[in-house]
Amino acid sequence: MTIRSLTFLIAFLAIATASVQPAAAQDPNPSLRSTVEPALKYSLGPGQEETFTWTILAAGAQAAAIQVTPSLVIPAGWTVAADLASFPLGGPTGATSKVIAVRLILPPDAADVASGDLLLRATGTTTASQAQPIQPTQQTVSLAYVAPIVPPAPIPPDYTWAIVSAIVVGVIFIALFVYWFQARRVRLVIDHPIKRFNIGTGGSYKVVVTNPSKVPQNVQLRVLGLPKEWSAAFSFPVVPLSGGERSEVPLWVNVPIGAAPNTHQAFRIQARPNRFSPWIVTRRLQVDTLDVVITPKPTAAAP
């Protein structure tokens, strides 16, 4: 054999080998595989949910399609929603992949749900005249329960100062009421509150002082509201009275000579049951001034 013939034979064998190899590669054993996007681990709390995609792919199924059946193994306490209906893959005109949306749901009332693994499993059989099972594919997705953060109990408001303040105000109010009430334990009665006095003279009012309480009291009396040129005084500025006792105390008023005639001078008298009480019991009196001139009688002439 010549070198030329040997070269031609080698080239012929190489071409024959190259044409046969792809044909063999075009008919591998059909298989399934799957992927999960975007992650293989999810952490959820009560009332939360997540969605990921599960993609199932078929390889070597150009001649005969594969009938794929997806399934899920769900850990206790979790809720998973997905379309698990069977579907074909491959074949001369069929799709080689299928995308399934998987939704993870944790109910709002979920509490202390155990963490676990979600198993995604896809099995298949060929649709040829003699159906043969295909090696299944599976993926594992880790699910973790996240306990909700319980906010600390609010600190109850401190009403101590408000309560103390209310008690103090109440005590002060009661004390003032008692103080005001006991200060009125005196009665003043005037026979005639309006009288007429001649200028340069004076007169008196009859004032009856009564102790209506059941305890002894030293009733104090005073006069207010008169001009400084006038003068007035009680016969007894302090009147000791037993419980239920009363006493008549004259009030003397002097009208100055310089007072204007035919005028009305108002003033007040006040009483209190003791020197620790306020001057609450008050009565108003009035003096009408007169100018009466008395002409002396003429004396008889001497004989």
Measure the CA–CA gap between 73 and 75, rounded to whole angstroms.
7
Residue with the larger pLDDT of the pair 130 and 112: 112
Whether 14 shows a pLDDT value over 80: the answer reads no
Predicted confidence band of residue 10 (pLDDT cuts 50, 70, 90): low
Whether 18 shows a pLDDT value over 80: the answer reads no
Q: What's residue 224's pLDDT?
A: 95
Whether 300 shows a pLDDT value over 70: the answer reads no
Mean pLDDT computed over 171-193: 86
Q: What's residue 303's pLDDT?
A: 52
Q: Which fold has domain 185-290?
A: Immunoglobulin-like (2.60.40)
Predicted confidence band of residue 296 (pLDDT cuts 50, 70, 90): low
Environment class of 249 (CB within 10 Å of its CB; exposed 0-12, middle 13-18, buried 19+): buried
Whether 11 shows a pLDDT value over 70: the answer reads no
Q: What's residue 75's pLDDT?
A: 92
- The region, left, alpha or beta by phi > 0 then psi within -120 to 50, assigned to residue 112 is left
Residue with the larger pLDDT of the pair 22 and 180: 180
Query: Pick from 257, 155, 160: which is nearest to 199 by CA?
Result: 257
**pLDDT per residue over 72-103, tens digit each?**
999 988 999 999 999 998 877 778 899 999 99
Instruction: Give Cα 278 distance to the centre of its chain.
Output: 46
Q: What is the pTM of this model?
A: 0.46
Q: What's residue 187's pLDDT?
A: 93
Predicted confidence band of residue 26 (pLDDT cuts 50, 70, 90): very low
Mean pLDDT computed over 194-207: 94
For residue 59, list its beta bridge partners.
31
Residues in Cβ contact with 57 at an 8 Å cutoff, skipping those fewer than 6 apart: 32, 33, 34, 35, 89, 96, 97
Mean pLDDT computed over 193-213: 94
Q: What's residue 38's pLDDT?
A: 93
What residues does each domain of the chain span? Answer: 29-145, 185-290
Q: What's residue 27's pLDDT?
A: 44
Place of tokens 């009421």: 177
Q: Are strands 264-272 and 281-290 parallel, antiparallel or unpaired?
A: antiparallel
Predicted confidence band of residue 126 (pLDDT cuts 50, 70, 90): confident
Q: Give CATH for domain 29-145.
A: 2.60.40.10
Whether 225 shows a pLDDT value over 90: the answer reads yes
Share of residues in the chain with pLDDT > 70 (%): 86
Predicted confidence band of residue 293 (pLDDT cuts 50, 70, 90): low
Mean pLDDT computed over 155-163: 87
**pLDDT per residue over 252-291, tens digit each?**
999 999 999 999 999 999 999 998 889 999 999 999 999 8
Q: What's residue 25's pLDDT?
A: 40
